[in-house]
Amino acid sequence: MIYTTLVAIRHVRATIASWRSRRTDWYLIVQEYPADALIQWLVDMLRMPTAQTLRDVADAASFGIGAAVSGGTLRTDPHYRDLLRKEFNVITTENALKMGPLRPEPGVYDFSDADAIVNFGTAYDMDIRGHTLVWHNQQPDWFRGWERTPDQVESFLREHVYTVAGRYRGRIDEWDVVNEAVLDDGSLRETVWYDAIGEEYLDAAFSWADEVSDADLYYNDYGAEEVNDKSDGIYRLIGRLLDRDVPVDGIGFQMHALHSTPDLASVAENVRRFQKLGLEVAFTEVDVAYQAAQKPDDHRAAQAEFYADLTALCVREGIDTMVTWGVRDTDSWVPGWFPDLTDDPLLFDGGSDPKPAYYAVYEALSGER
């Protein structure tokens, strides 16, 4: 009798939301209650609604919880697809809409990965973020801006924005129009776009995107989550753009919490000053990793605590979107770029199982923390 009850309770733990989210130890209940009481408890529990996913609690909280998506993995891995549709209500194109992957040769656009992601998001009623129209990295190998005149560079960029943003009008909800245009000291990065057009390349990119898209238009950057030289420079830049009536709707703080985690009090102060400009704010590329040689004793617990605190900050400060940069730890870019860091920066492990960070976000959104 006791053994049968244990098996049943373990099944309930995996399928009932209140049981799963609290992560109660079933063996303690068995020690405290006789079998007949446990059976009655089991019957009562089975009458409750089935388990809620992270997406369920995010939907209930009017919150966007998302992940960056690989088009190739989406098409070939059914477990990846299933996890995405069940657990997330926002998706971002990880690489599919970056200029280099999108334009393999002159005059050719390869929209296969991007279309797969957008079609998937549409089919499952997800908010879709396009990343990114203008960036200094991952440009086509064949594009040599230094061999072109300023007018030719401007014409090239205009055609690109018109073609890509225009294709997804009414389907992509937010665009990262310009990505990482500011250096750590707050000055503008010298890129092929800046060299040819000057600061006004940002004006042009946002204006062109606005002409052909009905999406909200974002500036996106890393290392500017706190009040610091870089975020000061971005704040001044966005202020100038708005003064020139450039259609900027929001700012994305990437929140790659790698090596160390930011001071969330400073993050909140920074968020509020950008909101006062009339901008939407989102955390767009979240992951959390530590120096492997100096990681906390229980780094997954520390990671979960940071995810919980960041989610609570979102709720408190009126931020309605948080996107992780990948779905599972094995999908993350971090191990390939930073071999000295812990290799598990996301909400799900490589086996698609939720980690403590998942439950921390779940509980922060459901009001259980």
b (16+ CB within 10 A) / e for 172-192: bbbbbbbbbbbeeebeeeebb
- Assess whether 180 carries a catalytic annotation: yes
Q: Which two tokens stand for residue 146?
A: 């230094």
Rg (C-alpha) for the chain, rounded Å, is 23
Q: Which two tokens stand for residue 289?
A: 């990793």
3-class DSSP assignment, residue 67: strand
CA 29 and chain centroid, separation: 38
Whether the CB-CB separation of 283 and 314 falls below 8 Å is answered with yes
Q: From the candidates 94, 174, 285, 363, which is the catalytic residue?
A: 285
3-class DSSP assignment, residue 260: coil
Q: From the candidates 87, 174, 180, 225, which is the catalytic residue?
A: 180
Q: Which two tokens stand for residue 209?
A: 């995107």
Which residues have CB under 8 Å from 245's CB, separation 6+? none
Q: What angle do CA 225, 316, 360 make, to 5 degrees?
A: 80
- Assess whether 285 carries a catalytic annotation: yes
DSSP states of 107-131: TB---HHHHHHHHHHHHTT-EEEEE
Distance CA 176, CA 169 (A): 14
Distance CA 25, CA 30 (A): 9
- For residue 233, which amino acid is it? G
Distance CA 42, CA 231 (A): 53
Whether the CB-CB separation of 275 and 330 falls below 8 Å is answered with no
- For residue 362, which amino acid is it? Y
- For residue 245, which amino acid is it? D
CA 195 and chain centroid, separation: 30
Whether the CB-CB separation of 222 and 254 falls below 8 Å is answered with yes
**Beta strands in the chain, from DSSP E residues, in sequence order:** 64-69, 90-93, 127-134, 174-179, 216-221, 250-253, 256-259, 280-290, 321-324
Residues annotated as part of the active site? 180, 285
